[in-house]
Structure 1
Amino acid sequence: MRLGLNIGTLGEFELIKRLTAHLPGRADVLLGVGDDCAVLDLQSEALLLTTCDSQVEGVHFTLQTSSPEQIGRKALAINLSDIAAMGGEPRYALISLILPPALPLSVLEGIYAGLRAEATRFNTALVGGNVAGTGQAAQLIIDITLLGTVERGHVLMRSGAQVGDILFVTGTPGDSAAGFYTLLHPDPAYPARAQEVVRQRHRTPNPRVHEGRILSQLGTNVVTAMLDISDGLSGDLEHLCTRSQVGALIEAERLPLSPALRAIAAHTLRDPLDWALHGGEDYELLFTVAPGSEQLVSEAVQSATGTPVTPIGVILPAPDGMKVRYSNQREERLASKSWDHLKASLERPAAEK
C-alpha cells in the first residue's frame, strides 16, 4: 500500500495550496486564503478582518525560556500583527486552550495575565473561546482567533505592489532571531544590554497596529501593498512578490540593523545581515510605497508613533526575481529562507522558533 507524501515532506505552503484549492466561496468573501487576514463584507461601513494562529509548546515557546506572562502576550501579539498588516483595528479575540492535565494552574494564570495585558494595550476584548485536554500528551497549545475591522477602500493586501514602488520596513528586523539565538546558546559573555534588548524583542514582540493604521489611512494609491514579517524578511518578501507578480531588489546597506543586533553578531562572529534577511518573528511591517511618496509616508508614521520606517529597496519586474545588492554594488539572487512549520519540525530542534 502506497501512502504517498507525508505532510512534513510536502511542506506548509504546498499543503495549504492543496487543502484550499477547491474551497467553496461566497459573494461576501472579498479575500480568503493567501493574505495575513481574510476580508469579509458584512454590508456595513467597515470590512471585517479575521485571522487565527496557534502556539505549540516545544515548537513556538518553552516555559524554560519565557515566562507565562510573556507567552500570553506573544500569543496575542502575533494575531494583532496580522490585523496590523492589513491596516486594520483589532476588536475581538477568542482563546482556545488545549491543556495537559499536569499543567500548574499558576502557569495558566500567568498566560492569561499576559493575554489581558496585551488585549488592554490594543483595546481588544477577549470574548470567549474553548478549553480541551491533551489526554496523554504533555504539550500546551494556545489557539487564538482575532477579529478586526478596516474602512472600505483602505485595506492593504500583499497583491498591490507595482514595478518602481519603494520597499519599506518598520523598526529593526533581525532582533528577534538574534534574541532566540542567545536563548539557544547561553553565554555569560554576551553584551548584557544587547542581550536584554534582543531577548525582549523575541519574547514580547511589538505588533505595529498603530503604524498599520497610519499607513492604511494614507490610501492604497500611496501605500500599495503590505504584510508583516513573521517568517523572515526574505520569505515574506517572496510572499509579497508572488501575490503582486513582481520582483524586488534589497539594498543590504540600507537595512536598519539595531546596535543590539550588531553587538550580538560581533560577539558570535555571525553576519548580522543573515538575521535581518532571514530571521523570523520580527512582526515588523514590510510595505511598498508609490514613488514620490517616500517622505510623506516616513513623516506620517514617525510623527504619529515614533517608529522609524526605512526604505530598503525597490520593486522590479517579475522576471528579475528577488535580488540583494551589497555596498560594493555586487548583486546576487536573494534566496527565500521562509519558516515552514512542517518541514522545520523535521529539520530543526524543538522550540527553535
Structure 2
Amino acid sequence: MDISAFGEFELVARLTAGLAVSTAGDIGVGDDCALLDLGRGDLLLATCDSQVEGVHFSLGSSPSEHIGRKALAINLSDIAAMGGTPRYALISLLLPSHLSIEVLDGIYAGLRAQAQRFDTAIVGGNISSTGGSPQLVIDITLLGTVERGHALLRSGAHAGDLICVTGSLGDSAAGLQTFLHTTTDVSPQDLQTLRERHTAPEPRVREGQLLGALGGGKVTAMLDISDGLSGDLTHLCERSGCGARVDLAAIPLSAPLLRVARSLQHDPLDWALHGGEDYELLFTLRPSALDEVRSAIQQQSGTPLTVIGEIQPPTAGLTLSHPDGHTEPLHPHSWDHLNHPSP
C-alpha cells in the first residue's frame, strides 16, 4: 500500500503513534507547536514547515520575495497560535540546478525582511541539491518562547465559549482562484489584494501575543487557520472534546472577496469555510471576556475580531447555522498536503 491511500492527518497519526515526550510538562504532536519545558524561565516552542514548488507556490505567479516571506510567515503563524514570541529560524534549501541565482537572492531577501519584521534571527540551516527533481523546496524550523502559564493550546475550549476569528476569511483561496481563472470584471486593486493574501500572508504574531498575555483563562483555546476554517475548527474540537456551532452570517468576508466571488460565480462562504492558508487566528473565549479581548486586540493591533459561533457539548457535533434558523452538519473539507497539490 502506498501513501496515496492515506490522507495527511491519517498519515500523521500513523507515524506519530506512541511517540513520547521527555518530561511531564512537554506537549509534542497535536498542537501548532511542540511545547517544551526546559526547567527554567519561559517554555520553548518548536515548529517546522516545508514549501514545495508546484504544491505551495509557483515561481511563475509569485514574486520571489513573496515566496521567502510566505515560507517564514507560515512558521511565524504557528508561534502566534500558541501566544508565543518567535526567536530563531533555521532555513534548509533543496535547490534544483536550473534555479537562477537572482530568484534565490529574491527568496532570501524575503526571508530576511520577514525575519527582521518579527525580531527573528536566522541562525543557520542547510543547502542541498534536489538531484534530478526540478522542484525547489524550502524547509524551515522555527524556535520561539512563551511565558510559563500563558501558552494557548487547542485543548482548552468548553461548551458556552465563544468562537472568534481575526481578520477576514477566504481571501487566500480567492486569490489563488484569480491565478487559475480569468476575471475580466475585477479591478486591479482587488486582484492585488487577494493575490497578496495568498502569496504573502500576514502572520498574526502581535495578536497572538496579546491573546496569550491576557491570562485568567479568558482565552481558552487557539490555533491558526492554515487548513481552512472547517478543518481547523474540527482539530480544535477534537482536542477539546467538544462540538461547535458556526453562524454563517457572522463569518467575516472582505469586499474584494465578494466581488471576485461574483465574477467567478462562486459561493464566497465555500472559500471562507474550506479554502485554507488565511493564517488568521481561530480561538475560543469566555463570553464575559469578549469586550476586554476585543478592545485589547483592536486598540493594540488594529485587527478586527469577529464572533462566529459558540462551542457546544460534544453530543451536538459540528453544525452550520443559517440566517433563517435552520442548521446542517459542518463537514470538514480542507487542505490536505497529500491530496491537494496546487499549480
User: Could you tell me the TM-score, scaled by structure 1's length?
Assistant: 0.95
1:222 is displaced (CA, Å) by 0.1
Report the Cα offset of residue 292 of structure 1. Answer: 1.1
Match of residue 311 from structure 1: 307
Indicate the residue corresponding to 1:70 in structure 2: 66
RMSD: 1.0
Task: Using the TM superposition, give the Cα deviation of residue 42 of structure 1 relative to its aligned residue in structure 2, in angstroms.
Answer: 0.9
| 1:82 lines up with 2:78 in the alignment | yes
The one-letter code sitting in structure 1 at the alignment partner of 2:160 is: G
Tell me how far apart the structure 2 counterparts of residues 247 and 212 of structure 1 sit (CA, whole Å): 23
Which of 116, 120, 140 is 2:116 aligned to? Answer: 120
| Matching residue within 300, 306, 316 for 1:320 | 316
Tell me the SS of whatever aligns to 1:307: coil
Return the offset for 1:186.
3.0
Query: Within 5 Å, which residues of 2 pair with 1:1-353?
Result: 5-27=1-23, 30-219=26-215, 221-345=217-341, 350-351=342-343
- Native 8 Å contact 1:31 1:40 kept in 2: yes
SS of 1:156's equivalent in the other structure is coil
Deviation at 1:28, TM superposition (A): 6.0
Following TM superposition, the consecutive aligned residue runs of length 4 or more in structure 1 with deviations greater than 6 angstroms are none
Question: d(CA) in 1 for partners of 2:194 and 2:180?
Answer: 13
Contact 1:175–1:258 (8 Å) recurs in 2: yes
> How much does 1:29 deviate?
5.7
2: distance between equivalents of 1:24 and 1:51?
Answer: 17
Report the residue type matching 1:193 in the other structure: Q
Gaps of 5+ in 2: none
How many percent identity over aligned positions? 58
**Deviations along 1:104-132, whole A, 9 cap, x unmatched?**
01110000000001001000000000000
Shift of 1:24: 3.7
Q: Summarize the Cα distance change of 1:208–1:220 in structure 2 as closer, same or farther, 3 Å threshold.
A: farther
Residue 342 of structure 1 aligns to a residue whose secondary structure is: coil
User: In 2, Cα distance between the equivalents of 1:234 and 1:258?
Assistant: 18
The 1:29/1:97 distance shift into structure 2, 3 A limit, reads farther
In structure 1, C-alpha distance between the alignment counterparts of 2:48 and 2:247, rounded to whole Å: 33
Q: 1:220 to 1:96 in 2, by over 3 A?
A: farther
In the alignment, residue 16 of structure 1 is paired with which amino acid? V
- The alignment of Structure 1 onto Structure 2 pairs a total of residues equal to 343
Structure 1, unmatched stretches of 5+, are none
Contact persistence 1:154–1:220 (CA under 8 A) = no
- The CA distance in 1 between the partners of 2:21 and 2:191, in whole Å, is 47
TM-score by length of 2: 0.98
Partners of 2:118 and 2:184 in 1: how far apart? 36
Q: What is the CA distance between 1:211 and its match in structure 2?
A: 0.1
Determine the C-alpha separation between the residues in 2 that align with 1:74 and 1:10: 27
Native 8 Å contact 2:76 2:142 kept in 1? yes
Conserved in 1, the CA contact under 8 Å of 2:152 and 2:220? yes
